[in-house]
Every structure is written in C-alpha cells, then in structure tokens.
C-alpha cells in the first residue's frame, strides 16, 4: 500500500487535467468503484469462496474494478506518462495479488475453490452494505473521491 501512495502522488503531480478529462475520467473511475462496492458487499474474506454478485462472472471483480478506476484516473490526469505509471503499477501489483490470492484460496478451500473456478458453484447470497463496510470499501470510495477532487482543483485553479 505505501508504494501505491507514492505512485499516486507522482501521478497527481504529473497530471494536467481539464474539466472534461476529470468529468469523463471521473465517471469511468466511479464505474470501477461501483464494481468494487458491489463485489465487497458479497465478499466474506478468507471465510468462504464467494460466487454471488459479480463473482458469478469475474474471478477477481475487486481487481477489475481497480483497473477500471485506474483507466478513469489516467483519463482524468490527461497525461500519457501518468497513464503508463498507473498501468505499470496495476500490472505489477495486481498480477502479484492474483497469484498470491489464488494460491491462498486453493490451499484454504481446495476443491471448493476449483469447483468455483470451473463454474460448478452458484451461490445466491444478496449484496450487504454492511459487508462492504466490513471489507473497508468505504476507504477506497473516499480515496477515489479525494483524488478526483484534487484533479478537479488542478483543472480549475492550476494547483
């Protein structure tokens, strides 16, 4: 996480946003965050293999959501170098996270995880906002909003 903050600050410094880039990029980033909130509301970390909500279609919807957020922030920053930094950071960190997470899930849940990956498990649990909050998704919401406000201030005032 600390490395993410460093990369985030570098991107914010390099950013040259405009009102239109922040609007379009912000909307894309919010789509990614909505996917993350939806996934977090279905996820009971390290206690079960989750197969409801977006987990029916995506093995890693939190990471997909983060990637969509990254695309949005790259658009909002209006700088190719910022987009390359975001892409590089996400590629390295999410690849490592997926490998680590899948190894943990296979070790912890064995056949249950393999059945999920093959599509054999289809649980129908409902989204719970309390679960998304328990998974600290509110911090990600606040983080993306803060970044968008900073980019908006840069666009408006050249800060």
User: Nearest Cα to 63, choosing from 83, 85, 92, 84?
Assistant: 92
Rounded CA gap, 142 and 138, in Å?
6
pLDDT in the model for residue 137: 95
Q: CA-CA distances (angstroms) from residue 107 to 42, 104, 154? A: 21, 5, 47
Q: Which residue in the block uniquely carries the two structure tokens 């993410």?
A: 4
Rounded CA gap, 112 and 41, in Å?
21
Residue stretches of the chain with pLDDT short of 70: 1, 120-124
Residue 47 structure tokens: 């206690």
Phi, psi of 86 (to 5 degrees): -60, -45
pLDDT in the model for residue 5: 81
pLDDT in the model for residue 51: 82
pLDDT in the model for residue 92: 93
User: Nearest Cα to 35, choosing from 8, 71, 81, 88?
Assistant: 71
pLDDT in the model for residue 142: 95
pLDDT in the model for residue 130: 93
Q: CA-CA distances (angstroms) from residue 30 to 13, 118, 132, 137? A: 21, 30, 16, 13
Domain-by-domain residue ranges, the chain?
A: 15-157
Rounded CA gap, 29 and 14, in Å?
18
Q: Give the gyration radius of the chain's Cα atoms.
A: 17
Phi, psi of 42 (to 5 degrees): -110, -10
pTM, to two decimals:
0.89
pLDDT in the model for residue 124: 67
pLDDT in the model for residue 120: 65
Q: Which residue in the block uniquely carries the two structure tokens 């995880």?
A: 113
């Amino acid at each position: 996480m600390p490395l993410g903050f460093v990369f985030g600050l570098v991107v914010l410094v390099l950013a040259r946003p405009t009102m239109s880039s922040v609007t379009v990029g912000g909307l894309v980033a919010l789509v990614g965050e909505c996917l993350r909130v939806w996934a977090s509301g279905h996820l009971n970390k390290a206690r079960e293999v989750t197969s409801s909500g977006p987990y029916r279609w995506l093995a890693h919807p939190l990471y997909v959501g983060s990637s969509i957020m990254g695309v949005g922030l790259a658009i909002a920053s209006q700088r190719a170098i910022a987009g390359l930094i975001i892409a590089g950071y996400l590629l390295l960190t999410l690849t490592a996270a997926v490998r680590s997470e899948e190894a943990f899930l296979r070790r912890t849940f064995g056949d249950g995880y393999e059945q999920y990956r093959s599509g054999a498990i289809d649980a129908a649990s409902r989204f719970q906002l309390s679960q998304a909050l328990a998974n600290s998704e509110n911090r990600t919401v606040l983080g993306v909003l803060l970044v968008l406000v900073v980019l908006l201030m840069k666009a408006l005032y050249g800060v």
